[in-house]
Amino acid sequence: MVRFRLQVVNDIIRTTVSDIKDMRIRGAGRIARAGATALVGFADGYAGRDLEQFRKDLRVAAGTILSSRPTAVSLWNGVHYSMRGVDSAETFEAARDLVVDNGKEFCVNSEQAVAKIAKIGAKRIKDGDVLMTHCNSSVAIGVIAEAVRQGKDIKVFATESRPWRQGILTVNDLSKAGVDTTLIIDSAVRSVMSRVDRVFVGADTITSSGSLINKIGTSQVAMAASEARAEVNVCSETYKFSPKTMFGDVVTIEERDISEVVKPGEIPEDVAVFNPVFDTTPAKYIDNIITEIGIMAPGAVYGVMAKMFGESIFDLE
Ligand code: RUB
């Protein structure tokens, strides 16, 4: 029985990790909620009763989840939020209940943040606006869909987002929400930007200097927007802020398999393929970061981070 329950618990972690690695669960918000939910399942189904052993096993489970994708700090924040207070819990039951409650609370807060950003961000969109979005951000799509729900007449250009083509998901999402949507290939961004008023993108990580790490190509979109005087809006829940970057940590940019870019035998064997899937957009190309606690300029991020993470920031691993 004990062995069976441990197996179930390990399966929860394993399934979540492989779903995230293979992009069946993707997008920074969704992977954060999936990581927190996996820890809830882990704690809830834990068969032992030994507090120290539970702490050790929980750390291993957390590390395994964090190894699934390296770039989105939302996953790190979701996992660490779920483990809050466990080190000072006095009994196994207290520690287990903390993980279950924290993990569930993280997911509820996350969903509420996404809904709040939709309402706040929609106010930035004017009737008649032409927008552009890149990749597939559920938060940016939420903002655009809310503006349309409010009756604003807008048009959206959505990039294909090679190599994984998340833009196909985006145009389906936007079309379902009744948005007038046009799909463009990534190389069309600069050419189309002259018709665009505002860009809305999501975030995987926001650094303490207000830079954005998001899907590869986001920086090109932002630079083209800057040249064309289009406004750049980043839609980001505050759990995508990375406290570790305050102390010099550099965000790891994930590289994925070359099979996402070329088919076997398509190019000579002596040709290398480089497939980084995120890039950094410097703060100077960003006008607004739209969060659940309000809209801020990139320069305000450091202060918000220091306030949000408080003393706990000095215990970062
Ligand atoms: C997705 C991506 C999204 C952010 C924000 O990359 O870059 O813009 O994760 O998403 P991938 P959301 O497809 O490689 O995960 O707003 O849904 O959290």
- Summarize pLDDT for 152-164 with one digit per residue, the tens: 999 999 999 999 9
Calpha distance 123→143 (Å, rounded):
9
Give 134's pLDDT tier (boundaries 50, 70, 90): very high
Quick one: pLDDT at residue 1?
Answer: 42
Residue 184: φ, ψ to 5°: -125, 155
For a substitution probing ligand 1, which of 144, 161, 204 has the most ligand atoms within 8 Å of its CB? 204
CA of 88 to the centre of ligand 1 (A): 34
Residue with tokens 């190019």: 267
pTM for the full predicted model = 0.95
List 159's β-bridge partners, or say none: 184
CA nearest to 159, candidates 175, 170, 174: 170
Calpha distance 306→251 (Å, rounded):
18
Residue with tokens 């989840």: 65
Q: Is the pLDDT of residue 270 over 90?
A: yes
- 3-state SS, residue 110: helix
Between 5-14, 26-35, 58-67, 96-105, the lowest mean confidence (pLDDT) is in: 5-14
Quick one: pLDDT at residue 9?
Answer: 66
Final residue belonging to a domain, choices 114, 135, 159: 114
Residue 187: φ, ψ to 5°: -70, -10
Q: Is the pLDDT of residue 7 over 70?
A: no
Report the pLDDT averaged over residues 130-142: 98
Whole-number average pLDDT of the chain: 95
Index of the ligand 1 atom closest to the CA of residue 29: 18
Quick one: pLDDT at residue 239?
Answer: 97
Q: Is the pLDDT of residue 36 over 90?
A: yes
Give 10's pLDDT tier (boundaries 50, 70, 90): confident
- Summarize pLDDT for 38-71 with one digit per residue, the tens: 999 999 999 999 999 999 999 999 999 999 999 9
**Out of 57, 107, 129, 135, which one is annotated catalytic?**
135
Please indicate whether residue 121, judged by its CB atom, sits closer than 6 Å to ligand 1. Answer: no
CA of 77 to the centre of ligand 1 (A): 15
Calpha distance 106→80 (Å, rounded):
10
Index of the ligand 1 atom closest to the CA of residue 138: 17
Calpha distance 98→93 (Å, rounded):
8
Report the pLDDT averaged over residues 73-89: 97
Quick one: pLDDT at residue 244?
Answer: 93
Index of the ligand 1 atom closest to the CA of residue 139: 16
**Out of 129, 197, 204, 287, which one is annotated catalytic?**
204
Report the pLDDT averaged over residues 282-299: 98
State the CB neighbour count (10 A cutoff) for residue 295: 16
- Supply the residue whose CA is at minimum distance from atom 3 of ligand 1: 137
Q: What is the CATH number of the domain that holds 143?
A: 3.40.50.10470
Is the same domain home to 212 and 105? Answer: no
Please indicate whether residue 141, judged by its CB atom, sits closer than 6 Å to ligand 1. Answer: no
Calpha distance 149→143 (Å, rounded):
10
Is the same domain home to 34 and 179? Answer: no
For a substitution probing ligand 1, which of 21, 116, 165, 215 has the most ligand atoms within 8 Å of its CB? 215
Is the same domain home to 45 and 130? Answer: no
Index of the ligand 1 atom closest to the CA of residue 236: 16
Final residue belonging to a domain, choices 114, 141, 156: 114
Please indicate whether residue 28, judged by its CB atom, sits closer than 6 Å to ligand 1. Answer: yes
Is the same domain home to 140 and 264? Answer: yes
Is the same domain home to 171 and 285? Answer: yes
Domain span holding position 89: 2-114
Is the same domain home to 82 and 165? Answer: no
Calpha distance 235→81 (Å, rounded):
21
Report the pLDDT averaged over residues 213-242: 98
Is the same domain home to 105 and 173? Answer: no
Quick one: pLDDT at residue 2?
Answer: 43
Please indicate whether residue 215, judged by its CB atom, sits closer than 6 Å to ligand 1. Answer: yes
**Contact criterion met (CB below 8 Å) for 215 and 135:** yes
Quick one: pLDDT at residue 312?
Answer: 59
Is the same domain home to 252 and 105? Answer: no
- Summarize pLDDT for 94-128 with one digit per residue, the tens: 999 999 999 999 999 999 999 999 999 999 999 99
Quick one: pLDDT at residue 208?
Answer: 97
Give 242's pLDDT tier (boundaries 50, 70, 90): very high
Quick one: pLDDT at residue 4?
Answer: 46
Report the pLDDT averaged over residues 262-268: 97
Quick one: pLDDT at residue 281?
Answer: 98
Q: How far is CA 34 from CA 37, 78, 81, in A?
A: 5, 9, 13
DSSP character string of 29-80? HHHHHHHHHHHHHHHHT-----HHHHHHHHHHHHHHHHTS-SS-HHHHHHHH
Quick one: pLDDT at residue 8?
Answer: 56
CA of 134 to the centre of ligand 1 (A): 9
Whether 235 is a known active-site residue: answer no
Final residue belonging to a domain, choices 114, 145, 164: 114
Give 254's pLDDT tier (boundaries 50, 70, 90): very high
Please indicate whether residue 69, judged by its CB atom, sits closer than 6 Å to ligand 1. Answer: no
State the CB neighbour count (10 A cutoff) for residue 278: 24
The amino acid at 129: D
Is the same domain home to 141 and 243? Answer: yes
Question: What domain count does the chain have?
Answer: 2
Is the same domain home to 93 and 230? Answer: no
Index of the ligand 1 atom closest to the CA of residue 240: 18
Q: How far is CA 254 from CA 27, 130, 271, 307, in A?
A: 13, 31, 21, 29
Please indicate whether residue 244, judged by its CB atom, sits closer than 6 Å to ligand 1. Answer: no
For a substitution probing ligand 1, which of 137, 160, 236, 238 has the most ligand atoms within 8 Å of its CB? 137
Q: Is the pLDDT of residue 317 over 60?
A: no
